[in-house]
Amino acid sequence: MSNNKQVRLAKRPMGMTDASTWEFTTKDIPTPAEGQFLCKIEYISLDPAMRGWVNDAKSYIPPVEIGAVMRAGTAGTVIESKHPDYKEGDFVVGSLGVQEYAVSDGSFCYKSDTFGLPKEKFLGVLGMPGFTAYFGLIDVTNPQPGETLVVSGAAGAVGSVVGQIGKIKGCKVIGIAGGPEKCKMVVEDYGFDACIDYKAGDVKAGLKEHCPKGIDIYFDNVGGEILDLCLARIRFHGRVSICGAISQYNSTEPIKGPSNYLSLLVNGAKMEGFVVLHFRERYMEAAKQLGEWMMAGQLKSKETVIEGIETFPDTFNRLFSGDKTGKLVLKP
């Protein structure tokens, strides 16, 4: 049966991806071999990191090859199994790519209860973005009560969780997001103390107003000018967690390094990077804690679900235009 729609990498993009970056194919639904299961993919995760995966560059995982199905996180249901640990009906979160069906031997997958929650949350707050927020804030920066935490990409899948964990840990939390609606959501729905609208202009003045004593922790999702502005206000023994640099991912120029990095020297501060995969052995710890906070009403999340695998090229670019709320998910 030729009815497994897929999105493959057609060519490596320069700058923003567009329709020509991708190739649509329709293949037979594959048959699981011994030790494999077949998964019907119900939700596909769209993440800024995917932009990096299509560059031909050494990174923490190999680039997606030209002609291969685009790599992506997925949530779905086992519909046929020859794998001893998976049975029909199991809910599976993993990395099965931008397609409707996939077989897997269980690598990069885990089974989960849905706890009656919408399945797309397992690609957001209860999945990689949530784990990213958890380890990138708690392990990398060790937030203490009373400290000032600034989070860029505050309305996003990672940033919104970072700020909420910061509040749980007793920090004063200031978000940075684009546009009045997102800023309102960050404060009213996610409970940040304030949110600076970078599209309205003066981030520097906003940081000065909301962080009068400076910044103890900056969780950076964006890089570029905002990283520099936060470095300029970093406090003694401050910590910067480098999670991403969405302002730079589509740049055709060399990456802009932080001119104010010597603020680290003056303030005895540190800037530390991480990839959530570095913490893979502790995912269940994060899932358990995030789930508990969620059940207790301390952690909220939003998802934007777009239907139709054929919308992938445009939907993917919403990550960079900011035209989405919280976690962006594709329903194929």
Token pair for residue 151? 């989070």
CA separation for the pair 212, 194 (Å, rounded): 13
Of the two residues 254 and 297, which places its CB atom closer to a second copy in the complex? 254
Of the two residues 60 and 115, which places its CB atom closer to a second copy in the complex? 60
Q: How far is the CB of 240 from a second copy (least distance, A)?
A: 9
CA separation for the pair 138, 90 (Å, rounded): 31
Question: Considering the rule CB under 8 A, would residue 255 count as an interface residue with a second copy?
Answer: yes
Question: Considering the rule CB under 8 A, would residue 4 count as an interface residue with a second copy?
Answer: no
Contact 175, 207 (CB under 8 A): no
Q: Is the dihedral of CA 65, 70, 76, 79 positive or negative?
A: negative
Q: Which stretch binds a second copy (CB under 8 A): 12-20, 154-162, 172-180, 266-274?
A: 266-274
CA separation for the pair 101, 90 (Å, rounded): 15
Q: Which stretch binds a second copy (CB under 8 A): 4-12, 151-159, 265-273, 299-307?
A: 265-273
Question: Considering the rule CB under 8 A, would residue 245 count as an interface residue with a second copy?
Answer: yes
Of the two residues 77 and 260, which places its CB atom closer to a second copy in the complex? 260
Question: Considering the rule CB under 8 A, would residue 274 count as an interface residue with a second copy?
Answer: yes
Question: Considering the rule CB under 8 A, would residue 3 count as an interface residue with a second copy?
Answer: no
Question: Considering the rule CB under 8 A, would residue 273 count as an interface residue with a second copy?
Answer: yes
Of the two residues 77 and 248, which places its CB atom closer to a second copy in the complex? 248
Q: Is the dihedral of CA 279, 321, 323, 10 positive or negative?
A: negative
Pick out residues in 24-63 that bind a second copy (CB under 8 A): 59-60
Question: Considering the rule CB under 8 A, would residue 254 count as an interface residue with a second copy?
Answer: yes
Pairing status of strand 234-242 against strand 215-220 = parallel
Q: How far is the CB of 293 from a second copy (least distance, A)?
A: 25
Estimate to the nearest angstrom the gap between the alpha carbon of 122 and the chain centroid.
12
CA separation for the pair 296, 66 (Å, rounded): 45
Of the two residues 111 and 256, which places its CB atom closer to a second copy in the complex? 256
Question: Considering the rule CB under 8 A, would residue 256 count as an interface residue with a second copy?
Answer: yes
Question: Considering the rule CB under 8 A, would residue 263 count as an interface residue with a second copy?
Answer: yes
Pick out residues in 205-224 that bind a second copy (CB under 8 A): 223
CA separation for the pair 6, 98 (Å, rounded): 6
Q: How far is the CB of 245 from a second copy (least distance, A)?
A: 6
Q: How far is the CB of 330 from a second copy (least distance, A)?
A: 25
Pick out residues in 53-112 that bind a second copy (CB under 8 A): 59-60
Of the two residues 126 and 203, which places its CB atom closer to a second copy in the complex? 203
Burial of 276 (0-12, 13-18, 19+ CB in 10 A): buried
Task: Name which position in 95, 114, 250, 260 contacts a second copy (CB under 8 A).
Answer: 260
Of the two residues 201 and 257, which places its CB atom closer to a second copy in the complex? 257
- Site size toward a second copy (CB under 8 A) is 32
**Which residues of the chain form contacts with a second copy (CB under 8 A)?**
59-60, 223, 228, 242-245, 248, 254-275, 278
